[in-house]
Every structure is written in structure tokens, then in C-alpha cells.
Amino acid sequence: MDTNSEPELGLSLSTSGSYAVVAVNGEIDMYTAPQLRDAVNDTVTKGYTNIAVDLSGVDFCDSTGLGVLVGARRNLTRRGGHLVVVAANSRIEKLLQLTGLNVVLDVRETVPESE
């Protein structure tokens, strides 16, 4: 294993109705959170204002990753857009509840098709 390489986060972009969907796989931590932030920012740059971040494939998320989600929500709200966090797995859902972010973020079990 190359210890000098940065951990990779699996990221893919698709659409569902009026939403751009950033699907995430792997672990979101201080090393990989910048990749998620860049992916969301790139999606905004492409003109999308409604973004769903699908965390169904995420096994772990630390405070850095949570900060990226809060920052993305703030950025999109300023632009008149909307962020949805899809937390279809119990670990992420519980994390959002414990931190109180389930009240701040629009957390859903599935990707919205439209609003």
C-alpha cells in the first residue's frame, strides 16, 4: 500500500428530477472531506442549485464531513437552492440525530425526485 497517497472517496454524479445527486461511498474524514466539498462545489458550478448528497454508501463520517454538509447547505441556501442529505443507513442517521444536524439539514431516506 502506498502510504503517501490520499484516501479516495467514491463519488458519482447523477440527476433525479430537479436534483443533482452526489452519491458517496467510503469513509468521510479529515482526509476525504475535501473531495466531497469539491464535488459539491463543482456541482454548484455546473449550475445545479438543488443537490442531494446520498450517504447510503458511507460507513463513517467525522466532524469534518459534517462541516462540509453544513457548509454546502449554507452555500446553496444563499443561492436560493436546497440541500438534501440522504441517510439511508442507520449509522449515518444516528450520527445526524446525535449531533442535532437532523434538525438543521433536510435528512431523508431516499433521493427526492422533485420538489
**By the 8 A CB rule, do 18 and 114 touch?**
yes
pLDDT of residue 8: 80
pLDDT of residue 43: 97
Give the CATH class of 10-108.
alpha beta
pLDDT tens profile 71-115: 999 999 999 999 999 998 899 999 999 999 999 999 999 988 766
**By the 8 A CB rule, do 53 and 69 touch?**
yes
Confidence class for position 2, pLDDT limits 50, 70, 90: very low
The larger pLDDT score, comparing residue 42 to residue 7, is at 42
Question: Which cell goes with 33?
Answer: 472531506
**By the 8 A CB rule, do 85 and 55 touch?**
yes
Q: Give the start-to-end residue ranges of the domains of the chain.
A: 10-108
pLDDT of residue 1: 42
pLDDT tens profile 44-62: 999 999 999 999 999 999 9
